[in-house]
Structure 1
Amino acid sequence: MKINKIIGLCGSTLLLLFSACQPIDDREVLENTTDIDGVKLVATQATEGGNLVELSMETPGITGYWDYNLGKALTDKVEFVYPIPGTSTFTYTGTLGGEFFSKTIDVQIDELDHPLDQDWYDLVSEETSEGKTWVFAGGPAADGGKWWYMSPPDDPSQWETAWWNAAGDCCPPVDAAGKMHFDLDGAANYTYYSKPGATPQEGSFVLDVANQTLQVNGQNILGAEQGNPEGLYTIISLTEDELILYLSNNAGGTGWTWVFKPE
């Protein structure tokens, strides 16, 4: 009798242990609350064809962010003054619940009826479609000035410190006599000239006023031989008469500083 009880008790214990070792497979499966066609994007302009734009995503249950070309807004609604006439495409990226998606909306801007941030005018001039040309603030031969030089890395506050005054002392960049042109003629256009009379090389740019950065896409800036494949620069100074850019970590592992002036 006692043996039967012991065997029964051991069997129950083994059953409990076996059950406890079994994985609990109670997974929650994420499901879409709608499809891409069900995501409603709305663009509103303060005036017809004007450049004060509000973008909103109006579908409940959707989360994501707006990429409005000048930056990203981690909200469903964003308002901004857009600097570029013509048709512009803005993108909302988010999740439907079970999968990610991107959807775009086009906005036609016919008139810059709201003033831009002053940095835009300083970079491309008041005549935004015509644009503005920048050159090195020195050279093109070595002249003792500080306009293209090695700086301490990873610290924009040290931009003025010259570990090696390359252009001033001995070794200007190969395109020291070149120029760069920025304009907003239908897009944020960037054109690079390696020297006077050189064939223009076209790219684009993004001026991030809030974070004080300049992104150049598709082409180099003057003196980019120090290496910056991402094309992103910290703006140290941007005024009507001066553009100073800093790179925190170039291909050689140091910082680098560029000083430009209008042509």
Structure 2
Amino acid sequence: MKINKIIYLLIASFMLVFTACDPIVDEAHLSDSTDVAGVQLVATQSPPGGNKITLKMASPGITGYWDYNLGTALTNEVTVVYPIPGKSTFTYVGSLGSQFFTKKIDVQVDRLDTPLDQDWYDLVGKNTATGKTWVFDNQGAGSLWWFMSPPGSADGAMTAWWNAGDCCPPSDANGKMHFDLNGAANYNHYETLTSPAEKGSFVLDPTNKKLIIKDSKMLGYAAGNKDGVYTIVTLTETKLVLYLSNNEANGTGWTFVFRPQ
């Protein structure tokens, strides 16, 4: 009798072990709540025609984010004070459930009636369509305008490890760069004051103190980075100081000091 009980216990134990080893299969399948045509994008301007724009993805069951050209918002609804007059296209990137999609909406901005962050006016000037030109703030021998600085943090941006501008200036030391908002965030790099422009675009992020140059070069690019992302140390009407925490040329920090032309 005891032997039978032991045998039953062993059999039960083996059954539990083998049952525990069976894989758990999730039979749930993703399905689309709608199609791309059914995704409703809404843009509201306050006041109508103005540059304060609320972008909303109004369809239920959809998740994603907005790309509003000068940044992204990881939400279905975002309000931006847009700095560029004219027609602009904004993009929503989302998931229907089983597939990703992008959908665009056009918005016509007739006037900049909501003031921009002051950084925009400091960078591109009060006449945002005309824009503003910047050059190196070279005040002569010993001045700091393009120099190696400590890596890792903008706190040491104005500490010069090596004043490279004094002995070994960049090829575009006498060049210029121009920012404007004439229909887009336009950026032009000039190797010299009279050379043709290398056209690109830019993103100004006042909140995170970043200036991003796209499809062109920052003035002083010999010590820049290919990604074009610079930390803003100072931005006023009369001075622009940018910093890299780890420049590609030598792995140190680097600081760029500009003034309006």
TM-score, with structure 1 as normaliser:
0.91
- What SS class does the counterpart of residue 174 from structure 2 fall into? coil
Aligned to 1:146: 144
What CA deviation, in whole Å up to 9, does each residue of 1:190-246 have, x standing for no partner?
Answer: 011101211111000011111111000011111111130000100111111001000
Q: Does 1:201 align with 2:198?
A: yes
Q: Does 1:237 align with 2:234?
A: yes
Taking structure 1 as reference, are residues 22 and 187 closer, same or farther at Cα in structure 2, changes over 3 Å only?
same
Tell me the CA shift for residue 2 of structure 1: 9.3
1:241 and 1:13 map into 2 onto residues whose CA distance is 81
Matched residue type, 1:149: F
Matched residue type, 2:225: N
Kindly report the root-mean-square deviation, in angstroms, between the aligned alpha carbons of the 2 structures: 2.0
1:121 and 1:243 map into 2 onto residues whose CA distance is 12
Matched residue type, 1:224: Y
1:195 and 1:152 map into 2 onto residues whose CA distance is 29
Matched residue type, 2:58: E
Share of identical aligned residues, percent? 59
Aligned to 1:161: 159
1:117 and 1:229 map into 2 onto residues whose CA distance is 27
2:13 and 2:205 map into 1 onto residues whose CA distance is 67
Aligned to 2:58: 58
Tell me the CA shift for residue 59 of structure 1: 1.1
2:246 and 2:101 map into 1 onto residues whose CA distance is 34
Aligned to 1:42: 42
- What SS class does the counterpart of residue 260 from structure 1 fall into? strand
Match of 2:208 among 178, 187, 211: 211
- What SS class does the counterpart of residue 237 from structure 1 fall into? strand
Tell me the CA shift for residue 103 of structure 1: 1.6
1:28 and 1:185 map into 2 onto residues whose CA distance is 51
Match of 1:250 among 238, 247, 250: 247
Moved over 3 A (4+): 1-20
2:216 and 2:91 map into 1 onto residues whose CA distance is 24
Tell me the CA shift for residue 6 of structure 1: 7.6
Tell me the CA shift for residue 22 of structure 1: 2.0
Tell me the CA shift for residue 74 of structure 1: 2.1
Tell me the CA shift for residue 150 of structure 1: 0.4
2:161 and 2:32 map into 1 onto residues whose CA distance is 56
1:189 and 1:152 map into 2 onto residues whose CA distance is 31
Q: Does the 8 A contact of 2:218 with 2:224 survive in 1?
A: no
Tell me the CA shift for residue 15 of structure 1: 4.5
Which residues of structure 2 form unaligned runs of 5+? Answer: none
Tell me the CA shift for residue 58 of structure 1: 0.8
1:165 and 1:217 map into 2 onto residues whose CA distance is 27
Tell me the CA shift for residue 10 of structure 1: 5.8
2:9 and 2:230 map into 1 onto residues whose CA distance is 74
Q: How many residues are treated as equivalent by the alignment?
A: 260
1:23-102 matched pairs, under 5 angstroms: 23-102=23-102
Match of 2:260 among 254, 259, 262: 262
Tell me the CA shift for residue 162 of structure 1: 0.5
Matched residue type, 1:25: V
What CA deviation, in whole Å up to 9, does each residue of 1:74-128 have, x standing for no partner?
Answer: 2221112111111111112222222322221111112112221111111111111
TM-score, with structure 2 as normaliser:
0.92
Tell me the CA shift for residue 144 of structure 1: 1.1
1:8 and 1:80 map into 2 onto residues whose CA distance is 71
Taking structure 1 as reference, are residues 222 and 9 closer, same or farther at Cα in structure 2, changes over 3 Å only?
closer
Residue range with higher mean Cα deviation, 244-253 or 57-66? 57-66
